[in-house]
Structure 1
Amino acid sequence: MRKASLSLDQVPEAVGRWCSHLGLQVTTATVPSGDEELFPNRIVIDGPDAHWLAANKGMALDALQFLVHEAQGEREEHRQAYLDVQSFRLFRMKEIVAMAQFAAEKARSLGSYTFASLSPRERRWVHLVLAREPGFTTESEGTGTFKALKVSRV
């Protein structure tokens, strides 16, 4: 593990400072996601310029997220900060949870269900949601960052 230099408590202030250096007027605050197992340590970025971070499918938000994780030096899920703008990621988490529940119903009746390509974070959400329901196994399939995910009835 790399040495952590930015603590979880310091992340909101650091993100606000970095955005200010980019000329963005934003505020940051720690806001619970409602499901801390799936989306822990949610840092919400708001303000008149926050929408720029969500543009282009959140590419700038992803880049800023990468910098936060690098600055934190942490690789443990429960210690990393996760950024959100305009509930962009919170909405996606809820969408993936609903999709996981749909996949469970399909796997229950058909034996299995396979998701198209999902990001590592999205696959993790599906794995965690279906781990809460007995009788299912999940397995990522393929190579690369974006992989399919198969849900099977046990």
Structure 2
Amino acid sequence: MKSIEMTAKTVEEAIEIALRELDADRVEVEIDVISRGKPGILGIGSELASVRVTKVDGTSDVLDSASEVLNNLVSHMDVDVVVNLKEADNQETGGPVFEIEGDDSGLIIGRKGETLRSLQFLTRFIVGRQTGERANLTVDVEGYDERRKQSLSNLANRVAERVVKTGRSIELEPMSPRERRLVHVALSENSDVYTESSGDGRDRRVVVIPS
């Protein structure tokens, strides 16, 4: 894979220059934002944005379809964002990871990530129907997914401390299946508590119980 680093006034401008240098489209590259830069005041203290762009050796049907579907869905949302391929084949999920960035990125996330989860679900569903393959793709917005993972891990550990201190079980708020799994994993090695899921449908949640 060929990789280059590029700097420019903005992330988008740096990406566009790199794409021309690599003679590639967005779907053919992985994009890693090294620095978003700083505008400074009257040019003083400003820093250029920096990106690393890597051309992928060949693309899969799922990757090609996902890029097209995701871009089409986002375009119909009438938001000022761009969709970049962050990883062509993530080791954890076994599928591509797309990163959405832009002035309206918060609208893509939605309340407690609900809009983002719905967008990912719909993209997976359409891509699966188009390709006949399981679409293990991930859609993230400016690192929200990683921040949410860390937030859930911190929450799980704080609740576990309270459970141990009080000797009483605590129910967490309803979560998606993936979020519940992250909480279970976060506390899987804590011998002082154990976790169970309770409730049905959208009301399903994790319960932290003293051992």
Query: Is contact 1:26–1:49 with CA below 8 Å preserved after alignment?
Result: yes
Name 1:3's counterpart in structure 2.
Answer: none
Cα shift readout 1:31-59 (whole Å, capped 9, x = no counterpart): 48xxx869x86432112443332345544
User: Counterpart of 1:140 in 2: which secondary structure?
Assistant: strand
Aligned position for 1:127: 184
Which residue in 1 is equivalent to 2:101? 46
CA distance in structure 2 between the partners assigned to 1:50 and 1:37 by the alignment: 25
**Gap regions ≥5 residues in structure 2:** 1-60, 130-134
Q: 1:63 aligns with which of 105, 118, 125?
A: 118
The structure number with the bigger radius of gyration is: 2
Segments of structure 1 that go 5 or more residues without pairing to the other structure are 1-5
Cα root mean square deviation, aligned: 3.4
The whole-number CA distance in structure 2 between the counterparts of 1:128 and 1:15 is 30
Partner of 1:11: 66
2:125 is aligned with 1:99: no
CA–CA distance in structure 1, aligned partners of residues 96 and 164 of structure 2: 33
Q: Which of 76, 83, 87 lines up with 2:143 in the alignment?
A: 87
Q: Distance in 2 between matches of 1:89 and 1:116?
A: 19
**Per-residue deviation, residues 90-149 of structure 1 (Å, max 9, x unmatched):** 332221110111122233333443133221232221111112434532111222322342
Whether contact under 8 Å (1:112, 1:150) holds in the other structure is: no
Give the whole-Å Cα distance in 2 for the aligned partners of 1:105 and 1:64. 35
TM-score of the superposed pair, with normalisation by structure 1: 0.67
Aligned length: 142
Q: Which of the numbers 171, 192, 211 marks the counterpart of 1:115?
A: 171
Q: Which structure carries more relative contact order (alpha carbon 8 Å, separation 6+)?
A: 1
What SS class does the counterpart of residue 187 from structure 2 fall into?
helix
Distance 2:169 2:203 in 1: 17
Q: In 2, are the aligned partners of 1:106 and 1:113 still within 8 Å (CA)?
A: no
- CA distance in 2 between counterparts of 1:146 and 1:134 reads 27
- Once the 2 structures are TM-superposed, how far is the Cα of residue 88 of structure 1 from its aligned partner? 3.5
**SS at structure 1 position matched to 2:122:** helix
**Structure (1/2) with the larger helix percentage:** 1
Preserved CA contact (<8 Å) 2:65 2:127:
no
- 1:133 aligns to what SS in structure 2? coil
